[in-house]
Amino acid sequence: MSSFTIGSGSVMAACGVDRVRPPSAAANIFTIGRRELRDAVRSRWFILYTLAFTGLGLSVSYISAASTGGSGLSGFGRTTAGLINLVLLVVPLMALTAGAGSIASDRERGMLSYLLAQPVTRVEVLIGKYLGLAGSLFACITLGLGLCALIVAWKGEATRPQSLLWLTGLTFVLALGMLSVGMLLSSVARRASGAIGTAIFLWLVFVFATDLVLMAGTLAFKLRIQELFALSLVNPLQVFKMWSLHSAEASLDVLGPAGLYASEEYGPMLHVIFAGCLLAWVVLPLVVAGAVFSRRSPV
């Protein structure tokens, strides 16, 4: 019996037939992420958002470099302020809509059922899609801000590379947080149109409605300065803005009493507080999206 087994193994080895090994989780995530990155780069949303972000960034950078005497990106100059405001408007919308259409569009087209029929887990699919879209967002952000730095350098302004690198890093972390929220919306929705519509509504809330609610709440409930600062930490866009200004060596009093209170009360610990808030927006929605996606039907 043993000789038969050995003989059979010898015949299989001689014929070049090896035992088929299932792909590893890392290989599955890499394959799905590469496919998602390729599709995102080829899609119209990536091209439009990249052109818009780059064009607006170049306009801000060119005008600021031409109108300021050598400030450029060093410290809190007009260029940095303009780029921060540009990021707050464009990047969250770009990341939210990209994440919102990822899973819901595959579910709507029937591609999700085919994908899950392969030897992959739902967690691998979610992480692969997330990493692929994160790569496309990183390419868009670095392209836009990189061209802004080139135009400032071409104008001969004094630039500080670490300032741009820090702003790029903060922008990417904000994009990851908004991408996580978009993936959560996509995991819940059955149609891509509903997920993208909800993402645009959330973008409006983050960009415009939150400031109005804070002002109204301050007047109506006479919130203390500590409570106002704590509420501002709930909005990731506000956290990004305060962290960017603080890192650009600007006084947070440009954000009002809450920023001035934070600067005086916490000092160097502000970096830890801001980092914890943004990382929470990256991790928590993605974890909830994984829990929802693992229980939802692919159709």
Residue with tokens 């439009």: 48
User: What pLDDT shows up at residue 196?
Assistant: 92
Cα–Cα dist 24/235, whole Å: 38
pLDDT tens digits, 106-126: 888 888 888 888 888 999 999
User: What pLDDT shows up at residue 77?
Assistant: 52
Within its chain, how far is the Cα of 268 from the centroid? 25
User: What pLDDT shows up at residue 216?
Assistant: 67
User: What pLDDT shows up at residue 255?
Assistant: 60
Cα–Cα dist 125/30, whole Å: 10
Does pLDDT of 5 surpass 60? Answer: no
Structure-block tokens of residue 125: 């699919």
Closest alpha carbon to 206 in 89, 82, 102:
89
User: What pLDDT shows up at residue 86?
Assistant: 84
User: What pLDDT shows up at residue 165?
Assistant: 80
pLDDT tens digits, 31-67: 898 988 888 888 777 788 888 877 877 777 667 666 6
User: What pLDDT shows up at residue 1?
Assistant: 41
Does pLDDT of 202 surpass 90? Answer: yes
Most confident option among 114-123, 217-226, 252-261: 114-123
Q: 212 vs 28, 209, 216, 218, 252, CA distance in Å?
A: 45, 5, 6, 10, 19
pLDDT tens digits, 258-278: 667 777 777 778 888 899 999
Q: How confident is the model at residue 157 (pLDDT cuts 50, 70, 90)?
A: low
User: What pLDDT shows up at residue 85?
Assistant: 82
Q: What is the largest CA-CA distance in the chain?
A: 89
Sign of the alpha-carbon torsion through 259, 263, 265, 267: positive
Cα–Cα dist 255/251, whole Å: 9
| Percent over 70 (pLDDT), the chain | 75
Burial of 156 per CB tally in 10 Å (0-12, 13-18, 19+): exposed
User: What pLDDT shows up at residue 184?
Assistant: 95
DSSP for residue 68: S
Top pLDDT among 15 and 150 is at 150
User: What pLDDT shows up at residue 16?
Assistant: 42
Does pLDDT of 221 surpass 50? Answer: yes
Q: How confident is the model at residue 73 (pLDDT cuts 50, 70, 90)?
A: very low
| Mean pLDDT across 3-16 | 38
pTM, whole model, 2 decimals?
A: 0.83
Helix, strand, coil in percent for the chain, rounding step 5: 80, 0, 20
Q: How confident is the model at residue 4 (pLDDT cuts 50, 70, 90)?
A: very low
Amino acid at 23: P
Structure-block tokens of residue 222: 């006479």
Residue 116 and residue 27 in contact, taking contact as beta carbons nearer than 8 Å: no
Phi-psi domain of 254 (left: phi exceeds 0; alpha: psi -120 through 50; beta: other): alpha
Does pLDDT of 203 surpass 50? Answer: yes
User: What pLDDT shows up at residue 65?
Assistant: 60
Cα–Cα dist 145/241, whole Å: 16
Q: How confident is the model at residue 257 (pLDDT cuts 50, 70, 90)?
A: low
Phi-psi domain of 77 (left: phi exceeds 0; alpha: psi -120 through 50; beta: other): beta
Residues 6+ apart with CB under 8 A from 247: 166, 167, 170
Element (H, E) at 12: helix 2-14
Residues 6+ apart with CB under 8 A from 169: none
End-to-end CA distance of the chain: 49
Closest alpha carbon to 163 in 266, 52, 81:
81
Does pLDDT of 79 surpass 90? Answer: no
User: What pLDDT shows up at residue 13?
Assistant: 39
| Mean pLDDT across 282-291 | 95
| Percent over 90 (pLDDT), the chain | 27
